[in-house]
Amino acid sequence: MFTMTPTIMRNLLNPPATRRYPTVVRPPFENARGEIVNDIQICTFCGVCAVKCPSQCITVDKKSATWTCNPFACVYCGVCAESCLSGSLHQKNDYRKPVREKTMIVLQGEIIKKEVKSHEPADVPQE
């Protein structure tokens, strides 16, 4: 009993060692891997992020131009953002805010069609 007395007194007199999250939030570390953000206007719906994702939380539907992410299955490793060919995926430094209900992130975009170059010969001046 007497060996614990100094520890008890120190705990009673010092401020608490924990924070009251989410009311008191610690600023994120440098280069912290936070929430995934997709700029849907730039996305080409190639599906590389869905293939590279180790937790398989991303699905891409090329025909309907839909990008879906399950943030509760995501491990925030950043592999999808690193492998994105169009540069539309990136990660914030902030962590996701706590929520009461599980929701999927569904983004609807438009498929950007590339112009097809014609193989017709250019107007060549005749001699």
- Please report, for the chain, the start and end positions of each structural domain, with discontinuous segments joined by +: 40-110
Q: Residue 7 and residue 80: Cα distance in Å, rounded?
A: 47
The answer to whether residue 23 scores a pLDDT higher than 80 is yes
Model pTM? 0.68
Over the stretch 76-107, which tens digit does the pLDDT of each residue have? 999 999 999 999 999 998 888 888 999 999 99
* Closest to 103 in 3D by CA, of 56, 71, 55: 71
The fold of the 40-110 domain, in CATH, is Alpha-Beta Plaits (3.30.70)
Cβ–Cβ < 8 Å for 36, 95: no
Q: Residue 88 and residue 18: Cα distance in Å, rounded?
A: 37
